[in-house]
Amino acid sequence: MTSIDPHTLTGDWHYPTSIRFGPGRIRELARACRAAGITRPLLVTDPALAAMAMVAEAAQSCRDAGLACGIFSGVRANPVEPNVTEGVRAFRDGGHDGVIGFGGGSALDAAKAVALMSGQTRPLWDFEDREDWWTRADPGGIAPVVAVPTTSGTGSEVGRASVITDTRDHTKKIIFHPKMMPATVIADPELTTGLPARVTAAVGMDALSHNLEAYCSPVFHPMAQGIALEGMRLVKEWLPAACEDGTDLAARAHMQVASTMGATAFQKGLGAMHSLSHPCGAVYDTHHGLTNAVVMPYVLEFNRPSIEEKVAALARWLGLGETGFEGVMRWVLDLRARIGIPHTLHEIGVPPEAASRLAPAALADPSSATNPVTLTAPALESLYEDAIEGRNELSAIV
């Protein structure tokens, strides 16, 4: 791997939104808020980050610039509707006029949902990503958002949706509106350098799952296809280094780019990795990226009849020593082993009896619609059983 000065990895990009990328760019947070018309931001984050110096420093930098910045940190790892309701209350009580989403995917999803709901009168679930439900929202009641990612996985900073758990039926629902896209992203890889190796691994595999599922989706979108390919190359080159040395700023920077690319690419669609993962997170509170990582090889094998040619092309692009579908499968399995990803869902808290319970929710998940092979409840139940028990050990590869 060529030695790279990470401080040369900087740029101002305008796709799919305005992105200020590079080490030290967090110093531009107040300017980004003002550019978005925000003078009284509410910084939305999670409790762990709220206790860290980076959040206090970011909020203080806004105050020093004359912005009345408040902090709301009531966000769970898999955010639920009460987190959004409480955030909206803090927004209104504080007289805020915009939101800073600061953290990983959960904090960013909650922040975007708070911004959406800050000026609405209808309930959150009225804006689920179904048909044209987003048109129910009053666009004038959606506050602007500045997004500051501190992990490199979900890419929520460049998305127009939030994944929120509905505690009434323990399902994850996608809340969508075009104006939920952050006005500006501050992508500063220095903010990710303190991430533990196990979290770096889980979120990095989430970035891989986004790029990989988008690439395999049957939807025609050549631009997203190209982005997904490069995103996967970056994961191959840089995720192991990011896990092995948390201070490797070049690795952190490239993984942050790969994460943003994955979320940009998956406008092409996702698939069974995500439709299997979402119910696990909603019911058993599993880490989303880690769950995607665990189910990845099982889904690849299930989809093999429809994706073999695409995956063979991916093997060539990645320059793998072994070609074809088997080469990509072996790379995925070796990468997981190298960075400490478990092989079964049972190892991360999903019990054997969960398969029949979770399969209907997985089928109803919007990600199922763009899986390369048509999904059914029995097929998803079988996939859950494979991934929970380590069944179908992929013996030809392992």
Domain total for the chain?
2
Domain-embedded: residue 394? no
55 and 201 fall within a common domain? no
Whether 2 shows a pLDDT value over 70: the answer reads no
99 and 66 fall within a common domain? yes
161 and 210 fall within a common domain? no
Domain-embedded: residue 90? yes
159 and 272 fall within a common domain? no
Whether 396 shows a pLDDT value over 90: the answer reads no
| Main-chain phi, psi angles of 63, to 5 degrees | -65, -40
Domain-embedded: residue 294? yes
Of 191, 206, 228, which one is at a domain's C-terminal end? 191
Of 176, 191, 206, which one is at a domain's C-terminal end? 191
Rg (CA), the chain: 20
| Main-chain phi, psi angles of 173, to 5 degrees | -120, 145
Average pLDDT, the chain: 95
33 and 169 fall within a common domain? yes
pLDDT tens digit sequence for 89-116: 999 999 999 999 999 999 999 999 999 9
139 and 206 fall within a common domain? no
| Main-chain phi, psi angles of 286, to 5 degrees | -75, 155
Cβ atoms of 154 and 206 closer than 8 Å: yes
Domain-embedded: residue 10? yes
204 and 107 fall within a common domain? no
Q: How far is CA 314 from the centre of its chain?
A: 22
Coil, strand, or helix at residue 171? strand
**pLDDT given at position 4:** 80
**Tell me, what CATH number does 53's domain have?**
3.40.50.1970
Domain-embedded: residue 265? yes
Band (5; pLDDT cuts 50, 70, 90):
confident
Band (13; pLDDT cuts 50, 70, 90):
very high
Per-residue pLDDT averaged across 219-237, rounded? 97
Reference 101, options 144, 140, 61; nearest CA is: 144
175 and 202 fall within a common domain? no
Length of the chain: 398
Domain-embedded: residue 169? yes
238 and 379 fall within a common domain? yes
pTM (2 d.p.): 0.94
Domain that holds residue 208: 194-389
**Tell me, what CATH number does 212's domain have?**
1.20.1090.10
Cβ atoms of 389 and 346 closer than 8 Å: yes
252 and 117 fall within a common domain? no
180 and 241 fall within a common domain? no
Reference 1, options 379, 369, 390, 319; nearest CA is: 319
Of 149, 168, 191, which one is at a domain's C-terminal end? 191
Band (394; pLDDT cuts 50, 70, 90):
low
**pLDDT given at position 398:** 47
Cβ atoms of 110 and 84 closer than 8 Å: yes
pLDDT tens digit sequence for 150-183: 999 999 999 999 999 999 999 999 999 999 999 9
206 and 154 fall within a common domain? no
pLDDT tens digit sequence for 237-291: 999 999 999 999 999 999 999 999 999 999 999 999 999 999 999 999 999 999 9
pLDDT tens digit sequence for 183-220: 999 999 999 998 999 999 999 999 999 999 999 999 99
Q: Give the C-alpha distances (Å, rounded to integers) separating 148 from 136, 186, 212.
A: 28, 5, 24
CA angle 376, 379, 380 (to 5 degrees): 85
Report which DSSP code applies to 142.
P
**pLDDT given at position 391:** 81
